[in-house]
Amino acid sequence: MADEPKKKLGEILVARGLAAREEVAAVLASPGPGRLASELYRLGITAERELAQGLAEQHGHPAVVLSESSIDLEALDLVPRAICERYHLLPVAVDADTLTVAAAEVSTAALPRAPIFDQIELASGRRVLPYLVIDAVVAEAIPIAYEARAAGETTLVGHRPRPSGVPAMAPLAVVRAPTAPIPLTSDPLFAPSDAPPGPAEAPITAPVVVGTMLPDQPVVLVVEDDPDVRALLHKVLGYDGYHVLEAATGGAALQVLRTERPACILLDAMLPEVHGFDICATLKRSPTFAATPVIVVSAVYRGWEHARTVQETHGADAFVEKPFDVHYVRQLVARMVGRELPRPPLTPQWQQDVRALAQEAEVAYRMGDLAACEDASRRWRALDPFDAHAWLILGNARSKAGDPDGAMKAWERAATFDGHLFPAFKNLAAVYEQLGFAQRAAMAWSRAHDLAPDPDTRRRIAERLALRRGP
């Protein structure tokens, strides 16, 4: 069923007493008006915060009030000014995993997410978290922010010079659409001992394994969704004496990496289920897998600039454009496999250590020692960065500690690394609604409905979806 039609911004502003109907009508009737929010802002009719609140309600997506926010200017180093001016966006905060962006558009008519964010993720090596912003406000802020950064500043308080006597602002002043309170559950944890089957027991897409591996035969993992390219690489690498494992999706690749220790990975950039760049970056951040050579292959991203980005930002050992010279790829794999790099196997001790850390995280969580739970989860993810349950319990701990934003980021990773993990999608749906991401919440609730473990849970989620849609 389709969602209810989106309300017009003018109707929302008038209904909430944020603008008079005559003022809205006059702006809309004026010759060549820009966006309504921008025009009301420029004319001084409605304040930025009230307009941001109206945008959040209209789009079902949080908005940021730049004039009340402290902007982390170091975030600007990750996105060129020309890109910001072209797409009307501004980086406002950055951490090790996430780049927060204020943008006049967060989605398009055809896509739930503006395509430019994928490009920024490729270049920055971080996930993009977009917030809405008034177009006129971000246009004002871009030159001020970049000029302040060029002058050596690290923080900009508000997007305009702050008047004397005005106190320091919050890191980011975010307004959200009004939503009904939705509890996660009394205990959102699905611990390893009672969790639904993970990737090893319930594969997303089974990997293709051909032939019997000989003793001491190097293993090469080919991750490629094109069956013809996959078959070609299997044939030539098998001829060169490698034991070749195949995966057609990012999810299938994660299954292999949970149980195998390839000598080299050929990884397509654009994959179903889990993005190839995400897999590469996660491997290279993990002490267990950092030394595994990764060759990224792409038909979409081309040129030396993308090659440099893929290698420097995501940690790939090499980058190959499609169509490629198969003999070059053979030579490249031979060179990678021939490196004398430490690649400790995934031993029974490794598996025992992972189970022990999972148990440690679970016990700490249930005892309410959230700091110990996070620490155990960190060590667990260092050994097995693709274990969705490690990310799930991290999100649970952050949620219980009162950090919904941190919980959201962790649960997103859990859902990415296991597309069948019901509690990840259920908790994501609830925290998305709590944080005002209405469109994301609808998609997560729908996925949770499909994955529900029993009819009663499925019925309650269906009622939640019906309540969202309204009468």
Q: Which pLDDT band, with edges at 50, 70 and 90, does 419 fall under? A: confident
H or E element at residue 50? helix 48-59
Task: Judge whether 461 and 427 are in contact, CB under 8 Å.
Answer: no
* pLDDT > 90 fraction of the chain, expressed in percent and rounded: 32
Rounded mean pLDDT, 391-411: 93
3-state secondary structure of 244: strand
Cα–Cα distance measured from residue 257 to residue 346, given in angstroms and rounded to the nearest whole number: 10
Say what the pLDDT of residue 198 is.
35
Choose between 187 and 252: higher pLDDT: 252
Cα–Cα distance measured from residue 274 to residue 108, given in angstroms and rounded to the nearest whole number: 22
Q: Is 368 exposed, middle or buried (0-12, 13-18, 19+ CB in 10 A)?
A: exposed
Angle, helix 422-435 to helix 404-417, in steps of 10 degrees: 150
Cα–Cα distance measured from residue 313 to residue 122, given in angstroms and rounded to the nearest whole number: 8
Say what the pLDDT of residue 311 is.
60
CB atoms near residue 4 (< 10 Å):
10
Say what the pLDDT of residue 113 is.
76
3-state secondary structure of 285: helix
3-state secondary structure of 250: helix
Lowest mean pLDDT among 50-54, 115-119, 227-231, 428-432: 115-119
pLDDT at 160 over 70: no
**Nearest of 113, 119, 118 to residue 61 by alpha carbon:** 113
Task: Judge whether 99 and 29 are in contact, CB under 8 Å.
Answer: no
**CATH code, residues 208-337:** 3.40.50.2300
Q: Where are the domains of the chain?
A: 9-175, 208-337, 348-469
**CATH code, residues 348-469:** 1.25.40.10
Say what the pLDDT of residue 392 is.
94
pLDDT at 188 over 90: no
pLDDT at 423 over 60: yes
Say what the pLDDT of residue 215 is.
52
Q: Which pLDDT band, with edges at 50, 70 and 90, does 121 fall under? A: confident
Choose between 201 and 366: higher pLDDT: 366
pLDDT at 180 over 70: no
* pLDDT > 70 fraction of the chain, expressed in percent and rounded: 80
Choose between 120 and 339: higher pLDDT: 120
Q: What average pLDDT is seen over the chain?
A: 81
Cα–Cα distance measured from residue 241 to residue 465, given in angstroms and rounded to the nearest whole number: 54
Q: Which pLDDT band, with edges at 50, 70 and 90, does 3 fall under? A: very low
CB atoms near residue 7 (< 10 Å):
14
CB atoms near residue 161 (< 10 Å):
9
pLDDT tens profile 333-372: 988 887 544 556 677 888 899 999 999 999 999 999 999 9
Say what the pLDDT of residue 261 is.
86
Choose between 358 and 32: higher pLDDT: 358
Rounded mean pLDDT, 67-96: 91
**Nearest of 51, 142, 38, 52 to residue 89 by alpha carbon:** 142
Cα–Cα distance measured from residue 296 to residue 156, given in angstroms and rounded to the nearest whole number: 38
E strands of 148-293, at which residues?
Answer: 155-157, 174-175, 208-209, 219-223, 243-247, 264-268
Rounded mean pLDDT, 413-420: 87
Q: Cα–Cα distances in Å, from 226 out to 208, 254, 271, 325, 417?
A: 13, 18, 10, 16, 21
pLDDT tens profile 252-311: 999 898 888 899 999 988 888 888 888 888 888 888 888 889 998 886 554 444 445 556
Say what the pLDDT of residue 200 is.
33
